């Protein structure tokens, strides 16, 4: 049988090798080896110094609180009807991907379930939410089904159960760790498995929406909605409602104009809806506080991306070998070891943050939990830029398979062969990653300084109280650049 008429995976591998971009950018595509012409520690040190220098700049530059926003863009956006078009498109893509996963090829690059779910959807969801805003809430077929189901149940007199407030977004954290494990650790997650998991996820989510209410569950337990809304706090596009008429059905801690609350925005009369631009990172302080577990979710997003990059390096192989050589049982259960390493990295990031906020809380004379709730949103820019710098080249290259697998999900040779564009210089990728990471950390420093000024009378006292958190951000910068700069393990 002749080869399938679509871009061969080998072309992507050769193009990526020619670009020679760092580990984090190509973590899922190919295993290549790349070493920087300058020591990686020099890049990490320079990035850390830049973040450290931004603290006094924040103290001087934020003497006057500036809250710039653009004019209202909703009249223009409303005419485009993008929500309805996007909902039809995402629904069709989901159905094609599930059908292709169940009945199509078992190869990653030949099946829409793997390309659409793992690459286009997961990576694209994060990138759009970070660089544009919360678009997912308006094109999510699952939320549309949930709202329709809720209306049907309400008509029959079925009432939702109260959701435990202490549970917060912990269900989404569990789903995030499970998704990361399936994507990075479980080697049996082929197209058919992904399709079945997608169907099971839809059934689970609809049952939870019926039990607790669609808006309440979307805000807490639907992983992709929670991730999109969390990342959108960093984005430049802001949704808000003028003079909201009713309570927030998602039971968020909404105040005033209810900025960033998609539930309130959708429930509001169109005359009260607003869409405007704001500076990157402004949503960290403008929007409502994170729910219980929100800070852990942000740290888990950050840590799982760092793990993904670190797991493709030679140093990770050496770490695995250290344990495998000392335990025959782990040699036969290496997946268990990989899971432990992933969870250990997530736990290390969370514990480091808790230790730092304990010091900050002591300086500000408040408890650790209260301090953590105030400062946790300031880590969102860091998690956002790590996600973008780690995945954007991955989406550019592997995303080029999308037309072939979507238009020909069952391999009927409907799509002619076409080439894969590999024209991004490797140096441009690396410097873009460095710039993104440093920019995100600087934004976090500025937002943390705004938060730290609230309980203090002066900028100098706020800077002193913020110092432990600043040092943690410098450590995150250096470690992130170090991971991105490691050589991929050789094939």
DSSP 269: -
Among 30-34, 390-394, 426-430, 469-473, the range with the most confident prediction by mean pLDDT is: 390-394
Residue 139: pLDDT band with limits 50, 70, 90? very high
pLDDT at residue 128, rounded to an integer: 95
- Bigger pLDDT: 268 vs 278: 278
The two structure tokens encoding residue 204: 């689970």
* Residue 22 pLDDT grade (very low, low, confident, very high; cuts 50, 70, 90): very low
- pLDDT score for 36: 55
DSSP string of 132-159, one letter each residue? T---HHHH-HHHHHHHHHHHHHHHTT--
Nearest 5 degrees, angle CA 388-CA 389-CA 393? 90
Q: pTM for the full model?
A: 0.86
- State pLDDT tens for residues 295-329: 999 999 999 998 988 888 888 888 888 888 888 88
Residue 103 neighbours by CB under 8 Å, 6+ apart = 409, 410
Mean pLDDT of the chain: 80
For residue 24, what are the CA distances in angstroms to 48, 230, 363? 19, 22, 37
| Both tokens assigned to 16 | 């990526």
Q: Give me the sign of the Cα torsion angle 347, 228, 375, 430.
A: positive
Most confident of 281-285, 365-369, 455-459: 281-285
What pLDDT score was predicted for residue 265?
Answer: 82
The confidence band for 194, taking pLDDT boundaries of 50, 70 and 90, is very high
Written as six digits, the tokens of 87 are: 């909902």
pLDDT digits (tens, 9 = 90+) for 45-85: 666 666 666 655 555 555 555 677 888 888 888 877 777 88
What integer pLDDT is reported at residue 211 of this predicted model?
93
Residue 114 pLDDT greater than 90, yes or no: yes
Tell me what pLDDT residue 116 has. 93
* pLDDT-wise least confident of 90-104, 381-395, 467-481: 467-481
Q: What is the pLDDT of residue 487?
A: 52
Tell me the mean pLDDT in the region 26-54.
Answer: 54
Inform me whether the pLDDT recorded for 94 exceeds 80.
yes
Given pLDDT bands bounded at 50, 70 and 90, which one contains residue 356?
Answer: confident
pLDDT for 34: 44
Please say whether the beta carbons of 474 and 52 come within 8 A: yes
- Return d(Cα 73, Cα 276) in angstroms, integer: 6
pLDDT of 368-410, one tens digit each?
Answer: 788 888 888 989 999 999 899 888 888 888 888 999 899 988 8
Closest residue by Cα to residue 104 from 402, 412, 397, 401: 412
What is residue 220's DSSP assignment? Answer: H
User: What percent of the chain stands above pLDDT 90?
Assistant: 32
Cα–Cα distance list, 295 to 53, 173, 260, 280, 302 (Å): 25, 10, 17, 19, 11
Q: d(Cα 20, Cα 76) in Å, to the nearest integer?
A: 42
What is the arithmetic mean of pLDDT over 336-358?
A: 91
pLDDT at res. 440? 86
* Portion of the chain with pLDDT greater than 70, in percent: 80
Whether 186 and 336 have beta carbons less than 8 Å apart is answered as: no
């Amino acid at each position: 049988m002749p080869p399938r008429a679509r871009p061969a995976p080998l072309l992507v591998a050769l193009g990526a090798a020619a670009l020679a971009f760092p580990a984090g950018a190509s973590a899922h595509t190919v295993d290549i080896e790349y070493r920087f012409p300058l020591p990686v520690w020099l890049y990490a040190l320079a990035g850390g110094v830049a973040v450290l220098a931004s603290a006094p700049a924040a103290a001087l530059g934020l003497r006057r609180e500036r809250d710039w926003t653009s004019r209202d863009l909703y009249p223009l956006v409303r005419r485009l009807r993008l929500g309805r078009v996007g909902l039809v498109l995402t629904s069709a893509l989901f159905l094609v991907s599930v059908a292709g996963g169940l009945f199509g090829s078992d190869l990653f690059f030949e099946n829409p379930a793997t390309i659409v779910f793992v690459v286009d959807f997961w990576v694209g969801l994060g990138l759009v939410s970070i660089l544009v805003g919360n678009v997912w809430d308006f094109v999510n077929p699952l939320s549309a089904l949930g709202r329709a189901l809720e209306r049907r149940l309400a008509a029959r007199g079925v009432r939702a159960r109260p959701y435990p407030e202490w549970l917060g977004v912990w269900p989404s954290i569990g789903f995030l760790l499970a998704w990361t494990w399936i994507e990075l650790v479980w080697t049996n997650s082929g197209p058919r498995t992904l399709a079945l998991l997608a169907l099971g996820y839809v059934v689970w989510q609809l049952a939870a929406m019926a039990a607790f209410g669609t808006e309440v569950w979307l805000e807490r337990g639907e992983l992709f909605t929670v991730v999109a809304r969390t990342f959108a706090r960093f984005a430049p596009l802001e949704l808000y409602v003028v003079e909201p008429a009713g309570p927030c059905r998602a039971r968020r801690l909404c105040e005033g104009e209810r900025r960033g609350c998609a539930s309130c925005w959708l429930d509001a009369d169109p005359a009260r809806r607003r869409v405007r631009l704001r500076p990157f990172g402004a949503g960290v302080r403008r929007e409502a506080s994170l729910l219980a577990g929100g800070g852990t979710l942000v740290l888990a997003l950050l840590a799982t991306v760092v793990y993904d990059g670190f797991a493709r390096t030679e140093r990770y192989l050496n770490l695995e070998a250290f344990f495998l050589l000392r335990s025959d049982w782990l040699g036969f259960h290496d997946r268990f070891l990989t899971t432990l390493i992933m969870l250990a990295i997530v736990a290390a990031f969370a514990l480091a943050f808790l230790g730092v906020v304990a010091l900050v809380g002591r300086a500000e004379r408040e408890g650790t939990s209260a301090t953590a709730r105030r400062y946790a949103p300031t880590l969102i820019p860091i998690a956002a830029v790590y996600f973008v710098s780690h995945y954007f080249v991955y989406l550019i290259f592997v995303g080029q398979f999308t037309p072939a697998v979507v238009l020909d999900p069952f391999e009927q040779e409907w799509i002619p062969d076409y080439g894969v564009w590999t024209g991004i210089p490797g140096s441009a990728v690396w410097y873009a990653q460095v710039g993104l990471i440093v920019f995100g950390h600087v934004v976090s420093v500025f937002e943390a300084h705004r938060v730290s000024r609230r309980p203090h009378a002066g900028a100098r006292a706020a800077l002193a109280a913020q110092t432990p958190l600043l040092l943690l951000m410098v450590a995150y910068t250096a470690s992130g650049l170090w991971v991105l700069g490691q050589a991929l393990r050789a094939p």
